[in-house]
């Protein structure tokens, strides 16, 4: 699988290189074009995908890329009047790289829309440019709260933000875990600290005792934090941060004899968590996410078909944000199907769009946020992370 992945990426790089030279040639021809309308008329439009495809967090971005790829492939296979060309931009999650790439995507490739950028940091620097060029974007995975408050008119996302996630976790802790004491830990980074603090703030007003602590993401020894937790004896430990740190923390917690529930967020929703903590220590650990990974079709029957198609094409199970990648792509496909090919038309169309995706019902509010804001809970079983259910009704054993 790893090999295949590398091969595919290599092939992709070749494609990108070829596309780049083609673009250069095109750019020369299209010099006289004013570039205002974009989207390219005729019988093909280009939709881009931007995110970290080769960097250290690419594990979170390749699944949505593959989801989108699958959606466009299935659409093009129906021989539509207007085909969609899918083009990827590897920002490595870096804001400065995203800024450069997005300008090329708009000016040279004349993308009609963009799926991504995948992370919040790069969104902050790329989306103002997209907004100015009036190119619509749908991100599958950028969850920072403030993105919706920038007043961008061409920005959308198909995932709930961190505030919704914290509230969902709080609700779940009170209802399903009947927590009286909650301990929150963060890696002291913007995403992790925000998530952990908000979980604490969500349960505090309900009379829950909350304590918190932070760990260093570069360190290995978390015994001082573990000692605090073991002494406090909470029903739930919630960690805000990424899976490598979560794995170390959960391992050391279990080894110190902690018996309550351990939970983390979307940044830890990867099998790397189980490897890091050890299969035995990770059992029963819970993960919250605004993303839906539903291989068994628990939530709707479209999810099951998507999971099967995905596995057939890529040889791996649906993973984090692959559903969101597919749904984001579908939003653009619906627009093209309705005969919208210019960036302005597509954006206007997205405002009225409403359909059942392979994950969630897709309908945007006027800020570009999903109207339905669900948080899903996953539980470690064996070496997998199956869906337990929505935070509103999931039950723990």
Partner 1 sequence: MAFDDFINQFWPSTVDGLALGAIYALVALGYTMVYGVLRLINFAHADIFMVGTFAALWTVQTLGVNSAGGLGLIGLAVLMSVVAGLVSGGGAMLLEVLAYRPLRKKGASRLAALISAIGASILIQQLFGTVIIRWVFGTSKEGGKLPLNEHFVDRSTVIDLGPIEVSNDKLIVFVGAVLMMVALDQFVNRTKLGRGIRSTAQDPETAVLMGVNIDRVVSVTFLVGGVMAGVAAALYFLRFEQAWYLTGFLLGIKAFTAAVLGGIGNLRGALVGGFSLGLFEMYGASLFGSQWRDVVAFSVLILVLMFRPTGILGESLQRARA
**Interacting residues toward partner 1 by CB under 8 A:** 2-3, 5-6, 54, 56, 58-59, 188, 213-216, 218-225, 227-228, 230-231, 244, 247-248, 251, 255, 272, 275-276, 278-281
Q: Under a CB-based contact definition with an 8 Å cutoff, are residues 316 and 65 in contact?
A: no
User: Which residue, 114 or 244, has its beta carbon nearer to partner 1?
Assistant: 244
Least Å from the CB of residue 192 to partner 1? 12
User: Which residue, 53 or 159, has its beta carbon nearer to partner 1?
Assistant: 53
User: Which residue, 292 or 319, has its beta carbon nearer to partner 1?
Assistant: 319
Least Å from the CB of residue 331 to partner 1? 30
Cα angle value 296/299/305 (rounded, 5°):
50
Integer-rounded Cα radius of gyration of the chain: 21
User: Which residue, 72 or 222, has its beta carbon nearer to partner 1?
Assistant: 222
Least Å from the CB of residue 172 to partner 1? 26
Least Å from the CB of residue 9 to partner 1? 9
**Which of 264, 265, 267, 261 shows the shortest CA–CA distance to 284?**
261
User: Which residue, 76 or 271, has its beta carbon nearer to partner 1?
Assistant: 271
Least Å from the CB of residue 1 to partner 1? 9
């Amino acid at each position: 699988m790893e090999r295949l992945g590398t091969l595919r990426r290599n092939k992709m790089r070749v494609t990108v290189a070829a596309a780049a030279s083609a673009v250069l040639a095109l750019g020369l021809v299209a010099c006289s074009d004013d570039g205002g309308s974009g989207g390219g008329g005729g019988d093909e439009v280009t939709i881009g995908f931007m995110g970290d495809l080769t960097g250290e967090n690419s594990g979170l971005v390749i699944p949505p890329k593959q989801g989108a790829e699958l959606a466009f492939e299935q659409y093009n296979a129906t021989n539509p009047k207007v085909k969609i060309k899918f083009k990827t931009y590897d920002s490595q999650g870096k804001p400065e790289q995203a800024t450069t790439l997005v300008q090329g995507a708009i000016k040279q490739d004349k993308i009609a829309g963009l799926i991504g950028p995948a992370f919040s940091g790069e969104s902050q620097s790329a989306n103002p440019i997209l907004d100015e060029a009036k190119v619509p974007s749908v991100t599958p995975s950028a969850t920072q709260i403030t993105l919706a408050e920038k007043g961008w008119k061409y920005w959308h996302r198909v995932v709930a933000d961190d505030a919704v996630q914290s509230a969902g976790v709080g609700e779940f802790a009170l209802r399903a875990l009947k927590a009286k004491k909650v301990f929150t830990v963060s890696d002291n980074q913007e995403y992790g600290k925000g998530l952990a603090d908000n979980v604490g703030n969500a349960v505090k007003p309900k009379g829950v005792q909350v304590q918190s602590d932070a760990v260093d993401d570069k360190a290995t020894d978390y015994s001082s934090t573990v000692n605090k937790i073991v002494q406090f004896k909470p029903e739930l430990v919630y960690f805000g941060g990424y899976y490598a740190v979560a794995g170390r923390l959960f391992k050391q917690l279990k080894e110190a004899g902690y018996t309550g529930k351990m939970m983390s967020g979307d940044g830890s929703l990867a099998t790397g968590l189980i490897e890091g903590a050890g299969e035995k220590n990770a059992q029963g650990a819970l993960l919250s996410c605004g993303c839906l990974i539903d291989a068994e079709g628990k939530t709707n029957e479209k999810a099951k078909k998507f999971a099967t198609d995905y596995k057939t094409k890529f040889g791996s199970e649906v993973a984090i944000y692959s559903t969101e990648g597919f749904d984001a792509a579908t939003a653009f496909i619906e627009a093209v199907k309705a005969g919208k090919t210019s960036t302005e038309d597509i954006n206007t169309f997205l405002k009225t769009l409403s359909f059942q995706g392979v994950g969630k019902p897709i309908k945007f509010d006027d800020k570009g946020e999903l109207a339905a804001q669900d948080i899903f809970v996953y539980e470690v079983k064996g070496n997998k992370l199956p869906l337990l259910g929505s935070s509103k009704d999931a039950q723990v054993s």
